[in-house]
Amino acid sequence: MKKLITSIMLIMAVSTVIAQEDIYSFKVKNDKGTEVSLEQYKGKVLLIVNTATRCGFTPQYKDLEAIYEKYNEQGFEILDFPCNQFGGQAPGTIAEIKEFCSTTYNVKFTQFDKIEVNGENEHPLYTYLKANAENKNNIRWNFTKFLISADGKILKRFESGDKMEDVEAAIAQALTPAK
């Protein structure tokens, strides 16, 4: 009976997360461990990325920072969520991760506290992202990216190995006003 009640509660929680219309009602922990609302990003085009510092894709930080610097003043933000779920490739504290990223890749975009993107302890934001993207599969590896429109809708999911030129082109298109 206890398992049944727990299962029902989990289904209700996931249903609530999936039913949300955009990402702005989610709260996440910043790099200081303080809960903040994503509502502060309303009106901006976002790239939400799960990252790691000891991964074959870690050099993407360089490309991400270049894209951030190029488009930030046009209303673009990168939200970086370190994740240690894939081969333990994001070890250390968030302070250590930030230090590595700033000294190695000169990262200036927003980095949040470490989260889980799959499984029992996955963050509700990632439950929502996966459920509402065209590709609804679990996150397969570090540096999976979700492009979010200025009105909070998921435009595209990019896998780790997708070309950064394609990611940048989609960002530029999302920032171009409709005619």
So what's the pLDDT on residue 178?
58
More confident call, 118 vs 16: 118
So what's the pLDDT on residue 136?
85
Segment 84-113, tens digit of pLDDT = 999 888 888 999 999 999 999 999 999 999
Look at residue 5 and tell me whether its pLDDT is greater than 60.
Answer: no
Indicate the pTM of the whole model: 0.87
> Is beta strand 76-82 parallel, antiparallel or unpaired with respect to 145-148?
unpaired
Decide: 133 and 139 in contact? Cβ < 8 Å.
no
Helix (H) / strand (E) element for 69: namely helix 60-71
Q: b vs e for 45-69, b when ≥16 Cβ sit within 10 Å of the residue's Cβ?
A: bbbbbbbbbebebbebbebbbebbe
So what's the pLDDT on residue 18?
45
Residue 127 pLDDT level (bands cut at 50, 70, 90): very high
CA-closest candidate to residue 89, choices 56, 62, 60, 121: 56
What does pLDDT average to over the chain?
89
So what's the pLDDT on residue 153?
93
So what's the pLDDT on residue 6?
46
Segment 23-41, tens digit of pLDDT = 999 999 999 999 999 999 9
So what's the pLDDT on residue 9?
47
Look at residue 15 and tell me whether its pLDDT is greater than 50.
Answer: no
Alpha carbon distance 20, 105 (integer Å): 35
State the catalytic residues. Answer: 55
Residue 17 pLDDT level (bands cut at 50, 70, 90): very low
Q: Which domains occur in the chain, in start order?
A: 2-175 (3.40.30.10)
Segment 50-89, tens digit of pLDDT = 999 989 989 999 999 999 999 999 999 999 999 999 988 8
